[in-house]
Amino acid sequence: MQMTFRWYGKGNDSITLKQIRQIPGVKGVVWALHDVPVGEVWTVERIAEVVNQAKMYGLNTDVVESVNIHEDIKLGLPTRDKYIEAYKETLENLSKFGIKVVCYNFMPIFDWFRTDLFKESEDGSTALFFDAKKVLSLTPEQVVKNMEENCNNFTLPGWELERLKDLEHLFSKYKNVTEAELFENLTYFLKEICPVAEQCGIKMAIHPDDPPFSIFGLPRIVKNKEDIARLLSAVDNPANGLTFCSGSLGGNPNNDLVDIVKTFTERIPFAHIRNVKHFEDGSFIESSHRVEDGSLPITEIVNALYENGFDGYIRPDHGRHIWDEVCRPGYGLYDRALGAMYLLGAWDVNVLLKNRKTACLI
């Protein structure tokens, strides 16, 4: 297992590579070219910039999150093939720098969704919050405006204002798209992409829907264990994998996260671990990584990954905003660094116990 840390790039993050390098156990950054419009090829020159910046601090760049999918591919439009060809070229360029994993998602319009970006908790920290009641009264336009006004002037991947400027037009395109049709469009994409990814030594790791249920009537197709199994079997290529995200799948209390890990470990090259606290009305807030602070079995998830031979990449996912840090919503330095240490501690306990058992046998 390798611990990584998401970094949004020089000039686009409140966090520096020097700070990330000082978090014990962190070996690499999870990155992307956030300024490249969706559908355009990532050039060798631009990729090299980030790779070389990270190398200066001894950090690998093995994981990319995300090479986003153009909406025409999700919609299955005739124009999708040109965007798929561009995606293949990007994968080939990434492979020249030893990239091992590409995380991506297939969520229509919005890559992720929260009603509040800085919801205050009892201890004075703030965190991303999904208000199940509030969402019923919000329009998509109101949501985008809220994101724009409360993002601390940081870009929010998946909420690019240029792309979302004509929401009415975007929603009209999805008006009659069913989950079955969206799934068919995803399998079409993967059948084209996976042979190239396999040749390049890259694992494609789809991110679950966040949250794992429909919002604003949009279809969702990576919500639970059944969806994951269907997707992995539909394109049975070793390059077709899953980004296990405890926070996304954990947005639905009915998802058995430990069982999902045990079932699909061999197809999980990348894991996002974060905790959420559930409320009776269906709302949830992102808490610290400690089991006691949220509703998810974080240590059991780590144990399941270890016991089933997980050898991929992990990053501490969204964290709270603590100690008056001004940062991108969900992506402060301090709480995610604490999260990395918590996860490494849980992993190290497994290593220690295994070593003791081995010693006893000897």
Catalytic positions, written as ranges: 207, 245, 272, 317-318, 331
Tokens 């030594």 belong to residue: 201
> What's the rounded Cα separation, in Å, for the pair 105 and 96?
23
- Name the 3-class secondary structure at 177: coil
> Which of 188, 178, 167, 164 lies closest to 78 in space, CA to CA?
188
In the structure encoding, which two tokens stand for residue 270, read together? 């990348």
Q: Is the dihedral angle over the CA atoms 335, 340, 345, 350 positive or is it negative?
A: positive
- Name the 3-class secondary structure at 131: coil
> What's the rounded Cα separation, in Å, for the pair 116 and 235?
36
> What's the rounded Cα separation, in Å, for the pair 42 and 45?
8
Contact at 8 Å (CB) between 319 and 298?
no
Pairing of strands 126-130, 116-120: antiparallel
Contact at 8 Å (CB) between 131 and 233?
no
The residue length of the chain stands at 362
> Which of 214, 221, 200 lies closest to 69 in space, CA to CA?
221
> What's the rounded Cα separation, in Å, for the pair 165 and 142?
12
- In this structure, how many other beta carbons lie within 10 angstroms of the beta carbon of residue 255? 18
DSSP string of 98-116, one letter each residue: T--EEEE---SS-S---SE
